Structure 1
Amino acid sequence: MTTALSRSRRARGLGSIQTKLLLMLLLASIVSTAVVGFFGYRSGTDALEDATYARLQEVGNDRRNEVQDFIDREKSAVLLDSRGAAVQASKAFNAAFEDLGTSRTTARQRGALETFYTDTFVPELERTRGQEYEAAAFVPSTAARTYLQANYTRFSGDADTSVRRDDAGDGSAWTEANRTYNPYFRSVVTELGLDDVVMLDNDGNVVYTTRKRADLGSNVARDEYRGGGLQQVYDAAIESNSSGFVSVGDFEHYLPAYGAPTMFIASPIGTADDLTGVLVYELSVEKLNTVLTGNKTPGVYEGLGRSGEAYLVGEDGTLRTDSRELFENPEGFASKAVATGTRPDVAERIVETRQTMLALKDKSAPAREASLGRSGTMRAPDYLGHDVLASYQPAKIEGLDWTLVTKISAREALGPVSDFARNLLFATAAVILLICAASVLMARVFTVPLNRLLEGVRAVAGGRLGAQVDAGRRHDEFGDLGVAFNDMSSSLRTKQELIEAQRAENDRILSGLMPPPVVQRYRGGETDISAEHDDVSVVYAEVEGFDQFTGRHSASESLTLLNALSRGFDDAARAAGIEKVRSVGTGYVASSGLVVQRVDHARRVVDFALGVADMVQRFNSQHGSRLVVRAGINSGAVRSGLVGRSDVVYNLWGDAVDLAYRVRTVAGQPGIYVTDEVKQRLTGGYEFTRTGTLTESDSAVPVWRLRGGGDP
């Protein structure tokens, strides 16, 4: 017998409840966990991408605004100085420079100047530009330029010395002017973070610079630096012939600044009647880099994590700022730049000079889209081939065709999703082990009928009223319990359907009495509902002549006609996009801007009144009646709320409402009448006729009649 029982148990094998339940739960757990994990991973990735894009757009907008503000501040400053401190300085330097036209320099001074260009200027220029230059091409030939550079420029190899050199001790008028005005412009350079301040006379001569570099005394139209950004902003300023004009030039490799990227902002000096030259601010990339990091500590990019950055791209496709990775990983920068299309010599010079401005081209998709004037977000490789999430947009700076790209590495942005996937694997393994143990216990306690009942109960609890379970053909307690459950579920479904039908009817009735937001609050239990609205347009519209017209009709026919008018009012309100407040007989009160704030609420209400007039005319044509419309419209502050306890009515009140009601009666004849407030809010396309005046709070309110409201 024991042997037979053992064989019976072995025969059951996989058919036992415990085994089936175990396999079922394992399969369900694995599949459900995999499905949930997959969709969780996808939704998490999408959510993180959306959040990152939103953050990038926010940071990008902030940086764009900060760059715009920075350029605007520099423009305002140069404009202010060109009308202020630079006026007398320009006259003094112009006169002094002209006097130097016959000046002489010693052979020793000329030799020292040539040594400066040979030993200091050209080597540094070749280092930064990666090209060869002849020193003789830069040595000045004119008397004034030679004199100034011999006394000042040859000391400019030390930036601190050159900018602080107020007096060369030569006793010239130029030195006297420099001693007077150089301290002020030196402070301007320091306070505004400029690279230099330059003044030119009306002939294009550089008569003054704060740093006394190689462009001092040169002529932007004739000498070796002609054709560059300095000449462009100078020519624009001179041609404007206006003291309030400011011209802006893009960054370029400016040779007198040892080839450093330099941007020029210029404004004519003096007044409209007496322009003496042009004042130029030279901006360097360092200040712009600081702005794009969020004006924080250099190298710290606010709001962009460990890998993000915001950078500018010029019209030529090269960066207008310096790359974050160049400073954080210079060793790997060159190889990545070469891999994305940069020439090896250019990449090496970028690393050597620690500057990507005007050197590194951005061929990425975000930069390309932004250059076409588009704004948006995308996931794409950046200028070094990194997988990034990026937002892009035009920089919108007058005179500069720049675009702004804000990016962060996809690995950093989506890091939490990877952590989630790893944790999900561990959780899945733990869940499977728990289910194995739980299934053994559950199989010993519950039976199949009870599980069916449990499933039915859960279905009802989850909202599936009317759910049925298979009671089977059992005649025991489980069978009776199944039948009783099915009866209960059917009864619940029937009651729920009745409740939902009654609720739908109540909602329909309430929606006809008050706006949807008020309905929601009223259904939530609120009874004292009121609100104040600062800017709303209200219309009182009434159809006159209906009683006389329906006097020969039966009550049923009159009701049918009245319903037709009421539907016409509602159709006109929906077409104009305004909210119905209430209707009484042939009268209708509606508003715009009450529930949904709108800037064109006056226009919408006027369009509604015109729609009602058209509807009445069609009604007259169909039924042979002579109904007319009298409507009053006003805009202003109103109050709204529920009035009454047992019979609740939604109503509007206030001076604006009262005035809308009164303007209907000014002319004593049908039509659409508006207050002056409404008329002023409307643009073209409407014609009005002055019909009278109302007195409101001791002031006269003009009343206008709108043409088209049923006029012949």
Structure 2
Amino acid sequence: MNIATKLRVGSLLLALIPAIIVGVVVGWTATGMADDALHHEAKARLTMLRESRSRQIENYFSTMHEQLVVTAETISTQRALNALNQAFHEYAGETLTDSDADRKSLASFYSGPFSAEFAKHNGGSVPQLPDIEKQLGDSAAALQQRFISGSPHPLGKKDELIVLADDSEYARLHGMFHKTFRGLQRRFGYYDVFLVDGETGDVIYSVFKEIDYATSLKTGPFAQSALGRVFASAMAIDQPGSTAITDFERYLPSFDGPAAFMGAPVFYKGEKIGALIFQLPVSRIQDVMTGHGQWQQDGLGQSGESYLVGADGFMRSESRFLLEDKQGFVDLLKKTGAPSQVIEDVTNKGTVIGIQSVDSPGAKAA
């Protein structure tokens, strides 16, 4: 996403236009030229809010950039990636795993609990999964089985497994580093935090443990995803201090929810060994754009809103009206002739990000 980012409060927001026009028309009949003053006052207020939101969102992305760079440059992160990388690839040999049993467990998980949860977020649709277990090496399959399909914790809480019930080096290191990275993820609201081996592209560590964990971002099932692309871009950076970022798009491991990523290379003793990647927090970005839901206090009254629009014309943050009244918003989409696929996706996913386009002068001018 360009951080100059198609921020659109609009001179007069789509939902705010009717309220202002009605006020102007009624006021004009009674007070003559007062209509121009009201219009310009409203426009000036919205312009100020647009500039304020723009600065806030740019500052927030700048903060995430700095957090990523600083974390990637800490000796703790460098040591974690270096040590976990070796332990990850040695795990199967160290623990004498049953690879066939691990892959069978994973296949059952993908077609069972994962697909069932995916369907809940997608109107009953079942995901088209590319035989993920067949694309995992023995160590990767074993670790995904231990932390995901074999974990006692339910979906959405796989991060609660801290130490594996074996004496492997990976189990020891995971227990050591997981609290640190999980604390980072929770404190700053990131959806997930990844460590990725620069040579193989293997996701050797993830806080949240979705099905992208332990896959290869070079040759695996999600190599062409936004996560795979940000990894490739991060590894193309030759000096510390820079980051790569992707736009929001649907992401299968997160049940086809909107996801964006920011990544930075990790150097250890002068050698680029991998990447640290953050999955960006949709909710925190939403808080910035909605003023934590304080629309009226921000001068937007009963029907004004501010939101992000991407270069492709699609929304990158939620609509106020969806957040306040989902069914009412869906009914409005139907009444205004929105495409049936848009209505279906908004209904099932409960989001407009990457789904609803904005075709208005304000959006085009942003």
Q: Does residue 293 of structure 1 match 2:286?
A: no
Structure 1: distance between partners of 2:114 and 2:28: 63
1:391 is matched with none
What is the identity, as a one-letter code, of the residue corresponding to 2:121? T
Q: Where do residues 514-593 of structure 1 align in structure 2 (5 Å cutoff)?
A: none
Structure 1: distance between partners of 2:215 and 2:43: 49
Q: Specify whether residues 109 and 234 from structure 1 end up closer, same or farther in structure 2 by C-alpha distance, changes over 3 A only.
A: closer
What is the identity, as a one-letter code, of the residue corresponding to 1:267? A
Q: Does residue 139 of structure 1 match 2:136?
A: no
What is the identity, as a one-letter code, of the residue corresponding to 1:318? F
**RMSD between aligned residues:** 2.3
1:328 is matched with 324
- One of 109, 112, 116 as aligned partner of 1:119: 112
5+ residue gaps, structure 1, are: 1-36, 371-712
5+ residue gaps, structure 2, are: 1-26
Q: Specify whether residues 272 and 319 from structure 1 end up closer, same or farther in structure 2 by C-alpha distance, changes over 3 A only.
A: farther
- One of 69, 86, 89 as aligned partner of 2:80: 89
Structure 1: distance between partners of 2:28 and 2:286: 42
Q: Specify whether residues 163 and 297 from structure 1 end up closer, same or farther in structure 2 by C-alpha distance, changes over 3 A only.
A: farther
- One of 258, 263, 272 as aligned partner of 1:261: 258
Structure 2: distance between partners of 1:231 and 1:341: 36
Q: Specify whether residues 134 and 310 from structure 1 end up closer, same or farther in structure 2 by C-alpha distance, changes over 3 A only.
A: closer
What is the identity, as a one-letter code, of the residue corresponding to 2:52? D
The answer on whether the counterparts of 1:122 and 1:135 sit within 8 Å (CA) in structure 2 is no
Report the TM-score when normalising by structure 1. 0.44
Find the residue that maps to 2:114 and give its secondary structure. helix
Structure 2: distance between partners of 1:199 and 1:364: 41
- One of 355, 369, 379 as aligned partner of 2:351: 355
The answer on whether the counterparts of 2:309 and 2:316 sit within 8 Å (CA) in structure 1 is yes
Structure 2: distance between partners of 1:104 and 1:301: 59
The answer on whether the counterparts of 1:293 and 1:301 sit within 8 Å (CA) in structure 2 is no
The answer on whether the counterparts of 1:208 and 1:216 sit within 8 Å (CA) in structure 2 is yes
> Following TM superposition, where does structure 1 have runs of at least 4 consecutive aligned residues deviating by more than 6 angstroms?
298-301
Find the residue that maps to 2:196 and give its secondary structure. strand
2:56 is matched with 66
Shift of 1:107: 5.4
What is the identity, as a one-letter code, of the residue corresponding to 2:285? L
Q: Where do residues 597-608 of structure 1 align in structure 2 (5 Å cutoff)?
A: none
Shift of 1:334: 2.1
Q: Does residue 166 of structure 1 match 2:155?
A: no
2:13 is matched with none
What is the identity, as a one-letter code, of the residue corresponding to 1:191? R
Shift of 1:56: 0.8
Structure 1: distance between partners of 2:282 and 2:203: 23
Q: Specify whether residues 243 and 299 from structure 1 end up closer, same or farther in structure 2 by C-alpha distance, changes over 3 A only.
A: same
The answer on whether the counterparts of 2:295 and 2:301 sit within 8 Å (CA) in structure 1 is no
Q: Does residue 218 of structure 1 match 2:218?
A: no
1:318 is matched with 314
The answer on whether the counterparts of 1:90 and 1:199 sit within 8 Å (CA) in structure 2 is yes
Q: Where do residues 176-575 of structure 1 align in structure 2 (5 Å cutoff)?
A: 176-203=172-199, 204-270=201-267, 273-294=270-291, 296=292, 302-340=298-336, 342-370=338-366
The answer on whether the counterparts of 2:28 and 2:34 sit within 8 Å (CA) in structure 1 is no
The answer on whether the counterparts of 1:213 and 1:256 sit within 8 Å (CA) in structure 2 is yes
1:188-241 deviation digits (Å, cap 9, x = unpaired): 111111000001011211111001110111111211112121122211211112
The answer on whether the counterparts of 2:53 and 2:288 sit within 8 Å (CA) in structure 1 is yes
Q: Specify whether residues 221 and 341 from structure 1 end up closer, same or farther in structure 2 by C-alpha distance, changes over 3 A only.
A: farther
Find the residue that maps to 1:309 and give its secondary structure. coil
- Rg larger in 1 or in 2? 1
The answer on whether the counterparts of 2:81 and 2:197 sit within 8 Å (CA) in structure 1 is yes
1:658-688 deviation digits (Å, cap 9, x = unpaired): xxxxxxxxxxxxxxxxxxxxxxxxxxxxxxx
Q: Specify whether residues 164 and 45 from structure 1 end up closer, same or farther in structure 2 by C-alpha distance, changes over 3 A only.
A: same
Shift of 1:125: 2.4
Give identity over the alignment, percent.
24
Find the residue that maps to 1:145 and give its secondary structure. helix
Q: Does residue 49 of structure 1 match 2:39?
A: yes
Q: Specify whether residues 148 and 42 from structure 1 end up closer, same or farther in structure 2 by C-alpha distance, changes over 3 A only.
A: farther
Structure 2: distance between partners of 1:128 and 1:201: 31
What is the identity, as a one-letter code, of the residue corresponding to 2:314? T
Q: Specify whether residues 145 and 340 from structure 1 end up closer, same or farther in structure 2 by C-alpha distance, changes over 3 A only.
A: farther
Structure 2: distance between partners of 1:300 and 1:116: 46
Structure 2: distance between partners of 1:105 and 1:302: 59
What is the identity, as a one-letter code, of the residue corresponding to 2:31? Y
Structure number with higher strand proportion:
1
What is the identity, as a one-letter code, of the residue corresponding to 1:179? G
Q: After superposing the two structures, state which structure 1 stretch, 86-95 or 269-278, moved more.
A: 269-278
Higher relative contact order (CA 8 A, sep 6+): 2
Shift of 1:63: 0.9
Find the residue that maps to 2:60 and give its secondary structure. helix
